[in-house]
Structures are given as structure tokens and as C-alpha cells.
Structure 1
Amino acid sequence: MPLHTVEPETTTDEAAALFTATHRALGVVPNLARVMANSPAVLKGYLGVVTALSAEGSLAVDVCESIALLVAQENRSDYCLSVHAFRGTRTAGLSAAEATRARRGQADDPWTAAVLDLAAVVVRDRGTLTDEQLAAARCAGLSDGQIVEVVAHVALHVFTNYLATAARVDIDWPLVRHTD
């Protein structure tokens, strides 16, 4: 049985204000946000991280969406693959081929490829990075701040992947399956 979704039309508490902020940040109130609203603290924290990374982070939106696609593929999250395939190709400027390659940790641009290499290690090895892996990221041109942001993006997407899977969230985006 899936987790309950909070409906924006029927809520009058703190969740209503958070749904307004969600709509402002994402352009919609997706089903995953409706599940997060079961705990306003979770939805508020999620929006805070998303807003800070997008407004103040140094990674371009196409790179962020590429990380999200990689992490969703690694975690077999069809919900998040669907979200980020849509956002990546519709708002971040990725082609369908680039989005597909990002799911496999590949990119034509060497710097983006280095970001995805780092993100893949972080998600697969649960944050463990060797000195050699950090040196490779730095040699590819990533600053320590950008490395921290990559880890933050991976952590954020692991959270949303796990919650979408645990909650059995109905996919409200064009469906993309991890088996595709």
C-alpha cells in the first residue's frame, strides 16, 4: 500500500505554503512532493536544498540533471528517471541521446564526464572516495567546492529515489524505466 499523498487543494496548514513554494521552485507540485508533505519538515528541507543548489551552486543545470539521471539509474528509480528525463530534455537543454548517456555516466564534454565519473563513484561506493579519485576530479578541473556540490546532488537524489520507491509514488511524468 503506497504512502498517503497530501492534496494541495485540501490542505490549509504549513503544507499549503510549502506547496506554493514547491510550485514556484519546480513549476508543478509533483506526486513526490505530495508524499513529502506528510512531514512538512521534510518538504521544507528538500525545497531548501534544491533552492540553494540551483540558486547558489556552481554546477550548470544540465550537469545537475545529468547527475540526477545517473543516480536514478543506479538506484533503479523509475519515478526519478521519469522526472529528470523530462526536466533534463525540456528545461535543461539535454538531447534525448545526452540524457540516455548520462544515465550510464557518459558525456561528450570532458568536464561533465569527470563530474559523472565522480558522481558514479559516490553513489556506488556510498561516498567513499580514494585519494586517486579526488585527484582525478581535481585534474579534470573540479574545485573542492564543486566536488562538495556533486556529493550534495548525489545525496539529494538518493533521498528522492529511496522515498519515491518506498512510497510507491505514482509517476506523474512521461514514463522512463530503468530497464529501458
Structure 2
Amino acid sequence: MTSYQIHTADTASEAAKEPLTVLQGAFGFVPAAAGLMANSPALLNTFFSAFGHFRGGGTFGPDERQVLLLSNAVANGSEWAVAFHTLEALADGVEPAVVEALRRGDLPTDSRMAALSALTRAFIDKRGRLDEADVAAFTAAGFTEEQLFEVITGVAISAMTNYTANVARPPLEAAVQPHAWTAGYSSGV
């Protein structure tokens, strides 16, 4: 259990209230990672702005964004983020078989989603030092070279939530609990 305060819009400082209010309205609850990030309004507001641009100004569809974010959460071993993005991925239309593959740390059989997952993991594993084969596999799946840079945004916002959750280890919200995950997860298939 965390010893860090998980803020709500009622308990957060003025500088952190607006993002938490928006998230409460969007999800029906304040996601624990955001409530934790409110301990540093600079972190929360940076995340909130970057995610808004990623979601609102990016070219990835909702399902692709969730594949990217879930892949990052697994690569970073973030139990809270994997559970949260499992819920979101299923809600955003990601096929359950794709979600299960990602949760196991495997690439999905869907070639486009596999290329997106592989690239996001390569960014993390190689600390951004991609090689030509990484880029070629991504573009061969129908993604553009410009989208390669958009993946960096997804990796960055994931680092903020994943690392926050890894440090604080918050409990899972009721809506997220059915999707609990631990490193080394196997669906038993």
C-alpha cells in the first residue's frame, strides 16, 4: 500500500485541481496514477498537457494508442498501468487476443499491432537508439516515419504514469481490479 497521498480534485492544490476534475469526469474516478502525480503539480500538468496532445492531435487511433500504452506499461513492469490500460484497451476496441498477448509480453498476431508494440518496446529497451530494422518493420506495417516521432510522446507519457505507479504502488480502483496483472503474467493459455 502506498504512503503517498492519492489526491482527488477536493484534496489537490489549486495547481492540480483542473486536470483531476477533467479525469474524474472522463472516467468516473480519478485514476490513482494521476492522483499521485498531483503531489507534484508540475508532473501532473506536464502529463495532462502531453496526453491531451497525444490523444487530440495525434494520428494514432484509440486502439493503436492503447496498444502503445499497454506495451509500454508491460515493458516498464507497471502493475497499475497494465491493469488500467487493459481496461482502456478493451473499451477502445482492441481485440481481447491482442490484449492478452501484450499482457504476456508477446507480440500480437495482428501484424500492424505487432509492429507498433515492437517499436514502442524497442524505444524503451534501446533507450531510443533504434536501428534501421526497427524503423523498417514499423513502416512496412503501414505506419509513417512521422508516426515514429509520435511514438516518442507515448513512451514519454507512459514513463510518467508507469514510474509514478511503480514508485508509489497504488491500489487498483474497483473498475480496474478485474484486470490485475503482475510481472511474469501468463493467461494460462
Q: TM-score, normalised by structure 1?
A: 0.88
Q: Which moved more, 1:58-67 or 1:109-118?
A: 109-118
Structure 1, unaligned runs of 5 or more: none
> What is the aligned partner in structure 1 of residue 96 from structure 2?
96
Q: Report the alpha carbon displacement of residue 163 of structure 1 after superposing the two structures with TM.
A: 1.1
> What is the aligned partner in structure 1 of residue 52 from structure 2?
51
Letter in 1 for 2:171: D
Letter in 2 for 1:23: Q
Cα RMSD for the two superposed structures: 2.0
**CA contact under 8 A between 1:4 and 1:35: conserved in structure 2?**
yes
Structure 2, unaligned runs of 5 or more: none
1:1-20 superposed Cα distances (whole Å, 9 cap, x missing partner): 63222232334622222212
Distance 2:119 2:133 in 1: 11
1:108-152 superposed Cα distances (whole Å, 9 cap, x missing partner): 332222111211211111111012322332233221221111122
Distance 1:94 1:20 in 2: 27
Letter in 2 for 1:179: G
Distance 2:134 2:52 in 1: 28
Give the % identical residues: 26
Classify the secondary structure of the residue corresponding to 2:56. Answer: helix
Distance 1:129 1:75 in 2: 18
Residues 1:177 and 2:182 are matched in the alignment: yes
Distance 2:106 2:92 in 1: 17
Evaluate the alpha carbon distance shift between residue 64 and residue 136 of structure 1 in structure 2; reply closer, same or farther with a 3 A threshold.
same
Letter in 1 for 2:125: R
Q: TM-score, normalised by structure 2?
A: 0.84
Q: Which moved more, 1:107-116 or 1:158-167?
A: 107-116
